[in-house]
Amino acid sequence: MKRIASLLLGLAMAAAALSGCGAQGRETAAQEFPDAVSIVLSDDGIIVDGKVVSTDESAAVHTAHDIVCYESGRDFTYGEGTEADAHTAEEAEAHTVVHITQPGTYALSGTLSAGQIAVDLGEDAEDDPAAVVTLILNGVDITCTVAPAVIFYNVYECGSTDEDTASETVDTSAAGANVLIADGTINNVTGSYVARIYDPDSVVLSEDGMTVEDSGKLHKYDGAFYSKMSMNVDGGEAGTGVLNITADNEGLDTELHLTINGGTINITSGNDGINTNEDNVSVTTVNGGSVNIQVTGETGEGDGIDSNGWLVINGGAVTAAACSDSGDAGIDATMGITINGGTVAASGNMYDQIDGGAQNYVVFSFASRQNGGQTYTLQNADGETVGTWTPANDFTCLVVSSPDLTAGDYTLWQGDTQLAGTMSDGVGSPGGGRHMGGEAPPADLDPWQAPEGEVPENAGSEVPDDPPERPDGEMEPDGRESPAGGHGPGGGEGGQSAAGLSKTFTLSDGGSFLNGLSPTETTEASET
Residue 167's pLDDT is 96
**What Cα–Cα distance (Å) separates residue 320 from each residue in 36, 305, 402, 464?**
33, 7, 15, 34
Local structure of residue 339 (DSSP, 8 states): E
Overall pTM surpassing 0.85 (yes/no):
no
Whether the pLDDT of residue 513 is over 80: the answer is yes
CB environment 259-269: b (16+ within 10 A), e (fewer): bbbbbbbbbbb
Q: Do the beta carbons of residue 477 and residue 381 sit within 8 Å?
A: yes
Q: What is the percentage of the chain residues whose pLDDT exceeds 70? A: 79
Q: What is the percentage of the chain residues whose pLDDT exceeds 90? A: 77
Percent composition of the chain: helix, strand, coil (DSSP 3-state, to 5): 5, 40, 55
In whole angstroms, give the CA distance from residue 15 to residue 264.
10
Q: Which residues pair with 219 in a beta bridge?
A: 197
| 3-state SS class at 489 | helix
224 or 450: which leads in pLDDT: 224
| 3-state SS class at 246 | strand
Whether the pLDDT of residue 487 is over 70: the answer is no
207 or 482: which leads in pLDDT: 207
Q: Across the chain, what does the average pLDDT equal? A: 84
Whether the pLDDT of residue 2 is over 50: the answer is no
Using 50, 70 and 90 to split pLDDT, how confident is the model at 29?
Answer: low
In whole angstroms, give the CA distance from residue 198 to residue 213.
12
Q: What is the DSSP string of 61-104?
A: EEEES-----BTT--TTSBS--GGG-B-HHHHHTPEEEEE-SSE
| 3-state SS class at 464 | coil
In whole angstroms, give the CA distance from residue 497 to residue 449.
26
Using 50, 70 and 90 to split pLDDT, how confident is the model at 446?
Answer: very low
Residue 3's pLDDT is 37
Query: What sign does the dihedral 335-338-342-345 (CA atoms) show?
Result: positive
460 or 360: which leads in pLDDT: 360
> Of 309-313, 350-354, 430-434, 453-457, which one has max mean pLDDT?
309-313
Using 50, 70 and 90 to split pLDDT, how confident is the model at 30?
Answer: confident
Strand order in the sheet with 223-227: 61-64, 96-100, 115-120, 150-154, 223-227, 250-254, 274-276, 305-307, 331-333
In whole angstroms, give the CA distance from residue 30 to residue 57.
28
Whether the pLDDT of residue 49 is over 80: the answer is yes
Residue 499's pLDDT is 52
In whole angstroms, give the CA distance from residue 244 to residue 186.
8
Q: What is the DSSP string of 118-173?
A: EEE--TTGGG-TT--EEEEEEEEEEE-SSS-SEEEEE----S---TTT--S----T
Residue range 250-265, pLDDT digits in tens: 999 999 999 999 999 9
Using 50, 70 and 90 to split pLDDT, how confident is the model at 501?
Answer: confident
Q: Which residues pair with 39 in a beta bridge?
A: 48, 108
In whole angstroms, give the CA distance from residue 79 to residue 197.
4
**Mean local confidence (pLDDT), 54-58:** 97
Residue 65's pLDDT is 97
Phi, psi at 125, each rounded to 5°? -65, -30
- The helix (H) or strand (E) run that includes residue 227 is strand 223-227
**What Cα–Cα distance (Å) separates residue 351 from each residue in 187, 212, 322, 333, 346?**
32, 37, 11, 11, 10
